[in-house]
Amino acid sequence: MSQREENPDTETGVMGMVEEALRRGDISPGLAEKARWNMLADAQDLDVFDSFCTFMDLGGYGNALRASNWDLEKAQQQGLIQDLAYFFRMGAHAIPSPTSEERILVLNDGIARTIDPAHGIDMLAMTTYVRDLVIAHCQILYNLRSRDLGIRTVLAGGQRIQYAPHAEPKKASDRVFGDDPDRIFWVEGNTVVYNPYHFQMNTAFSRAFLIESAGHDEGIHRDRIYIDAHWIDVWKGIFGRDPVQRNSSNTSILRFQLDGFPWLDLEYDAIATPSIPKIGQPIEVFQLSHMREYKSLAGDESTMPLKPEEVIQEFEQRKETGWASNSR
């Protein structure tokens, strides 16, 4: 039997001590909040939420950085920092969020965007967001092609669980006991801990990162876009609709629609099954090849190829008509 089971009043007693110390001013509100989250974790009473995550990786950047001997002065002179700034601008800022519950984490040459649908999310807004992700991917691919850089994008689904405050108290360098035996709490020091709750134990983030990292040998190719089957499972759980056309003669389409009116089609030309020991369970990942927007979504109907060579050809043709591609 655990100590918590042996002493059912322990949690209430400890929390009472925390609240009393906060009232006396012995600890900060931040430390009191940390104690509350510790109590929830110990009681195994934390909430689990569904999560979407998109991970974009700037392909070829590691090789370019290695060629500059990891010297950032040389990298800057060679335009690599400018490339990174463009990738950041397009991948992190140029895509409108469908909800206030999206957070973006930039990791050098990778960008993770996670969406928490727990507080409600509009299906049309989410469909538009998916379209915008695809367009941004294509724009980055096109505008960095002359730099021998590319992009790989993975949309994955999973869960997240928050186990600590959003803003952690600073790390303590000492404890304060004094004359009061109740004063057993860490004082705030000078080390900042950054642990945003949207990314705390987020399996959608982990899946997107691991699938993207699997690379070419596992069927995850540079300059392509992929949707993890778990992403589709989360979509079905949130919106009650399955985008996969399972009973259609054309089974290679993910269709986003409402009441029989299609908004967006994402066609795929392969289903990758990468072997990723850290995930373990069988994985299916849809490799996208075309996108079709319907009038009900965009006010006009259009298609866009998603294979790298066809993306470049499409954008070259659009340039001839004066279309802007959000160039560097």
- The predicted model scores a pTM of 0.85
Q: Which 3-state string (H, E, C) describes 103-166? A: EEEEECCEEEEEECHHHCCCHHHHHHHHHHHHHHHHHHHHHCHHHCCEEEEEEEEEEEECCCCC
Count Cβ atoms below 10 Å from residue 16 Cβ, excluding itself: 11
Domain with CATH 3.30.70.1230 in the chain: 48-160+200-319
Hey, what CATH class is 48-160+200-319 in?
alpha beta
Residue tagged 């724009």 (tokens): 139
Give CA–CA dist 223/308, Å, rounded.
Answer: 6
Q: What is the DSSP string of 259-317?
A: TTEEEEEEEEEEEE----TTT-S---EEEEEEEEE-HHHHSS-EEEE-SHHHHHHHHHH
Chain centre distance of CA 35: 28
pLDDT in tens, the chain (328 residues): 333 343 445 556 667 777 888 888 877 787 788 888 888 888 888 999 999 999 999 999 999 999 999 999 999 999 999 999 999 999 999 899 998 889 999 999 999 999 988 667 899 999 999 999 999 999 999 999 999 999 999 999 999 999 988 764 444 444 443 444 444 444 455 566 778 889 999 999 999 999 999 999 999 999 999 999 999 999 999 999 889 876 566 669 999 998 889 999 999 999 999 999 999 988 999 999 999 999 999 888 999 999 999 999 999 998 877 665 677 7
Count Cβ atoms below 10 Å from residue 306 Cβ, excluding itself: 23
Query: What single-letter DSSP state applies at residue 202?
Result: B
